[in-house]
Amino acid sequence: MLRVEARNAQTPIESKPRWIRNAVKTGPEYEDMKKKVAGASLHTVCQEAGCPNIHECWESREATFLIGGANCSRRCDFCQINSAKPEPLDRDEPRRVAESVREMGLNYSTITGVTRDDLDDEGAWLYAEVVRQIHELNPNTGVENLVPDFSGRPELLEQVFESRPEVFAHNVETVPRIFKRIRPAFRYERSLDVIRQARDYGLITKSNLILGMGETVEEIREALTDLHSAGCDIITITQYLRPGPMYHPIDRWVKPEEFVEHKDFAEELGFGAVMSGPLVRSSYRAGRLYSQAMAARGREIPDHLKHLAETSQGSTDQEATTLLAKYGPSQDTPVTSR
């Protein structure tokens, strides 16, 4: 056990407040997707990570895939992906993912994966090739590429940019003051520069902030301002949920009212699309956010993806505004007041 893990384990797992709950609703699209995934032995992050939003996203025919293997070459204090020597690169993985997208009949797919510092190109070819093969086999499916930082190297990032995902995503996750403790192998300014490079290339860009790891409200606003200045089009804001005792303790439970305030602030800054709520995840209603960001940029959605504007309509059950309308003001006391 690492020293940081031993320190984390001294803090017991926190009890969740009442607004951290998920009402399961299924529909015909979800049930059809479930059958296809089971019948073809397909693997998605949605199922394997027990995502609370699987029913809503699958009903919109959206899913997320993890590439690059099960082991990550870096360790972040909030992330439950195993940190160890990665497996050899599987060059057939892009084909299999593209075929899975076809089998599931997806409208929109998110590709994420582990960091591969063990490879000369840090996995840039893999991330780009998955996008290319999905586009080739599934021309009517939008692709979001959620990538590591590739050490900020322009020549590696350009390989990914050239694959032309509908959305290029790189998650900053937290604020500068605690960044080094939470993400020791990453750099805050470097992550901002990754987004800046993607925006300069002409791509729709996206990032995510996880709240409840020790940041203050003012620091959240500063990070949102930094992201917008870097050219980030889409921002998702979520609550940290501790995967287990060896991970970073929860500093506080952020109330839905505060998530609404952050959404309002982000929209005032000029983000093209914002999703904010305790159980929002970075790939939650991703097709909807892409459509909103395209409209905010004054771009038309290509003809082969115009269906996204229709299929991405409907409820957003995990948005803080929806939770407040459904359950009323929050009453629980946070773990720590700030």
Residue 57 is assigned to a ligand binding site: yes
Which residues make Cβ contacts (< 8 Å) with residue 108, sequence separation at least 6? 60, 61, 62, 141, 142, 143, 144, 166, 286, 287, 290, 308, 312
Count the alpha carbons within 13 Å of 244 in the hemisphere toward its beta carbon: 7
Q: What does each C-alpha distance from 250 to 241, 277, 300, 335 come to in angstroms?
A: 7, 16, 41, 8
Q: Is 76 among the annotated ligand-binding positions?
A: yes
Cα–Cα distance for residue pair 66/113, rounded to 1 Å: 5
276 assigned to a ligand binding site:
no
- Give the CA dihedral 274, 116, 161, 42, nearest 10 degrees: -70
Is the Cβ–Cβ distance between 126 and 113 less than 8 Å? yes
Burial 124-135 (b: 16+ CB within 10 A, else e): bbbbbbbbbbbb
Ligand-binding annotation for 79, yes or no, is yes
232 is in an annotated binding site: no
Pick the closest to residue 113 from 133, 97, 134 (CA basis).
97
Q: Nearest to residue 58, comparing CAs of 311, 280, 241?
A: 311
Would you list the DSSP string of 256-312?
Answer: HHHHHHHHHHHHHHT-SEEEE-TT--TTTTHHHHHHHHHHHTTPPPPGGGTHHHHHT
End-to-end CA distance of the chain: 31
Note whether 130 and 97 are within 8 A (CB): yes
Give binding residues for [4Fe-4S] cluster as ranges. 46, 51, 57, 72, 76, 79, 283
Give binding residues as ranges. 46, 51, 57, 72, 76, 79, 283
